[in-house]
Structure 1
Amino acid sequence: MTEDTTNEEARHAAKMAKKKAARDRMMERKEGEKGLVIVHTGAGKGKSSSGFGMILRCVAHEMPCAVVQFIKGAWDTGERRLLEGNFSDLCQFHAMGEGFTWETQDKARDIAMAEKGWAKAKELIRDPEIRMVLLDEINIALRYDYLDITEVVDFLQNEKPEMTHVVLTGRNAKEELIEIADLVTEMKLIKHPFRSGIKGQAGVEF
């Protein structure tokens, strides 16, 4: 080993030790836990996928959880097959939507389905045994005013149990929701195969 290599490794070790000490000091000050309001939004892919990833983490930790799908309820998705087929004892799955609004072309019906989904969501969130509730594509229902954003925000602020996590997905999240959320992630679209004429594929899109 050359002297230059030895010096480089020593500098790297010192740099990493300094970073670790700073990280340890930061973590010492973080003691509290709380149920989070988590928003995944933006035009990029991965909003629902990330939400389902957290649901699977809950399942792995044997934490009771639930999913309410507001838009994709008519779809046969891999997530739904997996959770209903293997983990129904830990994860409730409620598919309340009938497709995107341009598919149903019936606003009154869409509003009724959204309200039904929100009623189920409130029931699940109020259940003290359930640790996480994923409200998949609820932001789309809120964007089209199928649900009252004021009511949703008020419920999350005043009725959600202290230790329950609620994940809300869908593009165009409303500012009122972003304001009260604990964690907000915006998925940025850079490239998407749909623009190149490639349809949604099993294992990638559903």
Structure 2
Amino acid sequence: MQLESAPTEKRYEKPEGERRGLIIVNTGDGKGKSTAAFGLALRAHGRGKAVKIFQFMKVPTARFGEHRTFEKLGIPIEGLGDGFSWKSQDLEHSAQLARDGWEKARAAILSGEHFLVVLDEITYPLIYGWLPLDGVLQTLRERPKDVHVCLTGRRCPPEIIELADTVTEMQMVKHAFKAGVPAQRGIED
């Protein structure tokens, strides 16, 4: 490790632009995309802001750690899918669930009732062709000016990345799963 001196002066000027809702994307092959989005949700909720989380691949009855915590905190989280596509018995049904879920998410975004709307794992129904990209882009462009939207998932379409204000690409450097260690409850659920 190379040591460096702690900065003694601020390295940037404070932006003077208008505060407005942001489009935030967490993408890439590394872990942490959803976790980062959930951190934003907790931060907003902690400031008394209305938050809504939609999970495009999770089933409505999912009871992962985030569901249990958000339920206790009063943060609405809704599973819209039927799980991993490779476990699906009917991919057309999975696609229809995504389309129906998108209508709910779209309405939540356009209503202006939420400070932050999280679209967790939305990239998958987009890249599978289950959702029309143009409709998602149009909704993001037409949302009320103070509504923040965070989108997560691998291989985010470049059109969304172009439109976004902040994009973070999670890069896998090392992963326990590759070494044969199974997923750990409370870490990866």
> Shared fold (TM-score greater than 0.5)?
yes
Partner of 1:111: 95
TM-score by length of 1: 0.84
Q: Quote how far apart the aligned CAs of 1:87 are.
A: 2.3
Q: After superposition, what is the alpha-carbon deviation per residue over 1:132-190, rounded to whole angstroms, capped at 9, x for unaligned?
A: 000000011111111011111111112x1100000000001001111101111100011
Structure with greater Cα Rg = 1
Partner of 2:65: 78
Partner of 1:175: 158
Q: After superposition, what is the alpha-carbon deviation per residue over 1:50-77, rounded to whole angstroms, capped at 9, x for unaligned?
A: 0000000111111011000100225421
Q: Quote how far apart the aligned CAs of 1:105 are.
A: 4.0
Structure 1's consecutive aligned runs of 4 or more residues displaced over 4 angstroms after TM superposition are: none
Alpha-carbon contact 2:110-2:139 (below 8 Å) kept: no
Q: Quote how far apart the aligned CAs of 1:128 are.
A: 2.1
1:152 aligns with 2:139: no
Higher share in helix: 1
Partner secondary structure for residue 130 of structure 1: coil
Change over 3 Å in CA distance of 1:186–1:117 after alignment to 2: same
Alignment coverage as a number of residue pairs: 184
Q: Quote how far apart the aligned CAs of 1:31 are.
A: 4.0
CA root-mean-square deviation: 1.6
Partner secondary structure for residue 72 of structure 1: coil
Partner of 2:45: 59
Q: After superposition, what is the alpha-carbon deviation per residue over 1:90-134, rounded to whole angstroms, capped at 9, x for unaligned?
A: x22211111011111422011111011101101111222210000
Looking at structure 2, the residues matched to 105 and 149 of structure 1 have their Cα atoms a distance apart, in angstroms, of 25
TM-score by length of 2: 0.92
Equivalent position amino acid for 1:127 in 2 = S
Q: How does 1:16-27 map to 2 (within 5 A)?
A: 16=8, 19-20=9-10, 23=12, 26-27=13-14
Q: Quote how far apart the aligned CAs of 1:30 are.
A: 2.2
Looking at structure 1, the residues matched to 50 and 100 of structure 2 have their Cα atoms a distance apart, in angstroms, of 22
Q: Percent identity?
A: 38
Structure 2: unaligned runs, 5 residues or longer: none
2:147 to 159, 164, 173: 164
Partner secondary structure for residue 76 of structure 2: strand
Partner of 1:68: 54
